[in-house]
Amino acid sequence: MSSPLFDMAPEQWALLRRLLDEALELPAPERAGWLANLPEEHAALRPRLENLLAHADDDETQQPTRSADGVTRTSTRFGSLPKLAPLDEPPPPLPPDAGPYRAIRLLGEGGMGRVWLAERTDGLLQGRPVALKLPHAPWRHPQLAERMAHEREILAVLDHPNIARIYDAGVTAEGQPFLALEYVEGERLDHHVLRLGLDTRQRIALFLQVTAAVAHAHARLVVHRDLKPGNILVTPQGQVRLLDFGIAKLLAADPAHAELTAPAQRAMTPQYAAPEQILGQPIGTAADIYSLGVVLYELLTGVLPYQPRRASAAALEDTIVSTAPARPSQRAMDVPTRRALQGDLDTVLLKALKKDPAERYATVQAFADDLRRWLDHRPVTAQPDSSWYHARKFIQRNRLGVGLAAGFVLSLGAALGVALWQANVARAQAAKASAITDFLVGVFKANDIEQAGGQAKREQSVQQLLEQSAVMLSTTGLSEQPGVRVELQRVVGGLLNDLEILDAAIRVRQARVSDLKRQQAPRSQQVLALRELGESLRENSDWESARARLNEANQLCHDGGLDDSLACLGVVLDLGRVDYAERKVDAALGRVEPLISALQHHPEAVDDLAGSQELLALLRMLRNQPDAAHAAFEQALQLRQAQWGEGSVRLADMRYRFGRHLWTMRRLVQAESALRTAWQTTSSALGRDHVSSLRIELWLGRLQSTVGLSNEGMAHLQGAYKSMLSKADRLDPSELYQSRSALANALVLDGRLVEAKTALEDATAQRQRLGSRAGTDPTLDLTEARWLLDTGRFAESRALLLKLRDATAAQLGGQHPYVADRYLRLAQTDLASGDLHAAETDLKAALATEDAVETVFGTPKHRAQLLQVVLWIEQGRIGDAVEQADKLGRLAEATPRAEQYRDSFLQLNETIARALSAAGKTAEAIPYFERFIGTLAPANAQHPWLAAVRAHYALALIAHGQTGEARRQADLARNALAAQPAVGPQFWRPVKAVEAQLARSAPS
């Protein structure tokens, strides 16, 4: 039964807490008089206060403490946090196993429960310790399990290197809720900075990792609501990890979750809580911004922003709500810190600590951006704008230059030289500016209304103007100003490349390379120009030309002794990217691993270091090393977040690539979240019809339709494809090919064989036109093999799959999971054609490969084991089939979100149903058949696979005595197959079998 306290309104709860704290400050004999004299407006709370104070009298522990005003008082368990057990007390007994987790030792204890270091007993997380949260028995009210499940849902959408991951959640048979989280070995943020003696700049740099984690959560509509140093750990490697989303709120949550996070049940730490939390008002992201302000205030000054006169929770809350905090510089412990805080940091922190949420920073990213501005000696947005302020920040950024200028002024002779030099520079700059002006005026004059086609030219877009300027630069533009010409070529070429107008970008960048050669420009400039040209060629899928230009740049680096320069290290990175595109994995790894070490010695090389980590992640995936790949991608994403900011379109593009990587890792929820966030950011910034938005939407739809995450998947996929098709003349042909291939794949998986044939033919023709520029992605070939199988062309399907198997094995090694996938598809073809011996051989080969994530249901090997069950049924090995089907079913149940891999989930239900049915357990089989049908029928009622399963279901119904429903299912199956004349004979076999059975059982 839940406590009556949980039935109170938020404002009553807040008042009750304040009154209780006030009473607890009094000696016990005086409390009865205090209750009797309670004002009339508080009379309704008197019975509850009397009850609470009676418990306090029984449970008080007389522990003397000294308050802020110097008075020694006794502390009660009502007004203090739980204490750690004294060292001489025995440790608490280990709890019983919670599901598959066994506790090892106690890590910590709070008001709601304990956190234990634990291990998993079933071997799924072998060697990986977890932090196991177990609530105390009194907290196990009916809503707690739901609250912990809600925490699991929240953490499932968060995937960030600075946020501790969730592994599992559940309730034991004894009713014990549990939550298994990533175990983070580290120390509290405040303890860490004190132990190392970090200065102000170092503390802020570390704190920016915290803001990156919170910004990631806010971008997914999650508010932490309990940010404090105790929930922020720093690992021995200096990596911040944010913990404890136990009271986090999902802003997009449905009303069913509202009561789990209601203010009346407010769990928070008052010292770090925002005023709106204290008052029980609605909570948004601004509350986390406030708490971050408190954490940083304490981190920089050593004290909290508020010092109430009385040492009670009520006094503290009153102070937070009504009193402005002191300027941090006034509270700092030492003179250097005080000086560092004065001015900008004072203003930044006080803005984060505004009482009114609307007056704080609008986002965590805006708060973090101001901190970065302070680190870079740039003006912060929190300061009022003024000329003197900007001038002062300029001087701070350029102390050396300003100091040298002052020194020159002191020397008349030097000053005269500077004046003459400045005059020359001024003349050169004036000529340069004039040349640029003339060029730009020429671009616009060409669009004058009086010119031929003037009206159309007036309506030209920025893109068209850029393309026109590219033409002018490639011919006679600025021929009298070669220095200005190459500089404008760099700018225009970069803009064209960013807008993905690649043909024009290549022309401009080729002209720039030629001009620099003619001018005999320094090697370093030529290297950069060649690298830029290589970038455009690579993005245009012209790998051969890109490699040639990059090799030319590499030779310039060697000849000039520039190998360790940033430009030349960047050339190595781009050569590795070309290696990856051509699947030369060993060559790419040989470049990128030493490159990362070299780049780490260049603090300014953030861009290429992040690019190298991302390339390493892609290569690790090809080498079947998903954990190492994921770690590298997280490093790259963290570097990019710090470089670009959370709302950046470029960061969204990287998040799109990360989403594809997560999909490969079978982290489906995180993959969809990453792709959806990337799509929303890009669409908001560039518009839904921009090619970058369409590209991400295409992959979002592809993920959703392929794995069954959402019924909107096909709509996203087809909508994006149609829009891309309308821009075919402006799209990179390889991009259009990829979109056609993706659509064909989705149509085949959805059983739309006639539509899929057209898409396959279009994609195949496009690939032939592209030649080597089409790349090496096998999706189209695998799609064609599946289409050939489903249409009954078994020999052709098998021949294509053998070719793919051999190519994959040669490229990635015979033990790679992709090779297992090829064997699995071969076995499907064997079974469909009735060749059981070949199917057995191919399945054994699939099961002999390696897979680094076999603990997650849905791998090629698990699908091969499911197919093995079908083979054993055909061979009459019913006992083996039932045993293996049951084992796989239990593995799927233990895998979070296993049902979201639609094909694997459907295959699992069909396989279990058929195994049970073959064993004569038709009553147990029927629910599995019904689950399959209920999942696939809404997506495509005419799917051939659905028709075949309806026929198997009908056979089970006949055995169970439900002949009428069996006949209806058989009719649905026949009608579906009749509507698809291209389907193969394997789908008709079970339909004909059930019709024959029904004919035999019909009355004569």
Burial classification of residue 64, based on how many CB atoms lie within 10 Å of its CB (0-12 exposed, 13-18 middle, 19 or more buried): exposed
Looking from the CA of 399 toward its CB, the CA atoms found within 13 Å total 4
CB 626 within 8 A of CB 345: no
Q: Quick one: residue 666, left, alpha or beta (phi over 0 = left, psi -120 to 50 = alpha)?
A: left
Helix (H, G, I), strand (E, B) or coil at 212: helix
Tell me which residue of 174, 153, 164, 172 sits closest to 100, measured CA to CA: 172
Residue 423: HSE in the Cβ half-sphere, 13 Å Cα cutoff: 6
Q: What is the CA radius of gyration of the chain?
A: 34
Query: Would you say 736 and 725 are in contact if contact means Cβ atoms under 8 Å apart?
Result: yes
Q: What are phi and psi of 280, to 5 degrees?
A: 70, 25
What is the amino acid identity at position 779? T
482 vs 504: CA distance, rounded Å = 20
* Structure token digits, residue 660: 């594809």
Closest CA to 473 of 444, 493, 494: 493
Rounded to an integer, what distance in angstroms lies between the CA atom of residue 79 and that of residue 77?
5
Percent helix, strand, coil in the chain (nearest 5)? 65, 5, 30
CA 231, CA 538: separation in Å to the nearest integer?
A: 45
| Closest to 344 (Cα-Cα) out of 309, 305, 389 | 389
> Contact at 8 Å (CB) between 322 and 294?
no
Annotated binding site: 133
Q: Which residues are annotated as a binding site for ATP?
A: 133
* Contact partners, residue 837, CB within 8 Å, separation at least 6: none
Residue from 678, 670, 679 nearest 626 by CA? 670
Residue type, 868: Q
Hey, what's the torsion of the CAs at 921, 926, 927, 928, to 10 degrees?
80
**All residues at 6 or more sequence positions from 614 whose CB lies less than 8 Å from its CB, including other chains:** 632, 633, 636, 654, 657
Q: Do residues 393 and 378 touch, judged by C-beta distance below 8 A?
A: yes
The DSSP secondary structure of 301-369, one letter per residue, reads: HSS-S---SS-SHHHHHHHHHH-PPPPHHHH-SSHHHHHHHTTHHHHHHHHHT-SSGGGS-SSHHHHHH
Nearest to 360, CA basis, from 300, 276, 253: 276
User: Are 72 and 43 spatial neighbours (Cβ–Cβ below 8 Å)?
Assistant: no
On whether the CB atoms of residues 720 and 698 are closer than 8 A, the answer is yes
Q: How many Å apart are CA 89 and CA 346, to the nearest integer?
A: 45
H or E stretch at 202: helix 200-219
First to last CA, the chain: 64
Place of tokens 């969809």: 672
Looking at 60-176, list the stretches that DSSP marks H as alpha helix, in order from N- to C-terminal side.
Answer: 144-156
Asked whether 653 and 686 are in contact (CB, 8 A), the reply is no
Q: Which of 516, 524, 519 is nearest to 553 (CA)?
A: 524
Other CB atoms closer than 10 Å to residue 840's CB: what's the count? Answer: 17
Distance separating alpha carbons of residues 370 and 503, to the nearest angstrom = 39
Q: Which residue in 265, 202, 206, 276 sits closest to 235, CA to CA?
A: 206
Catalytic residue numbers, as ranges: 226
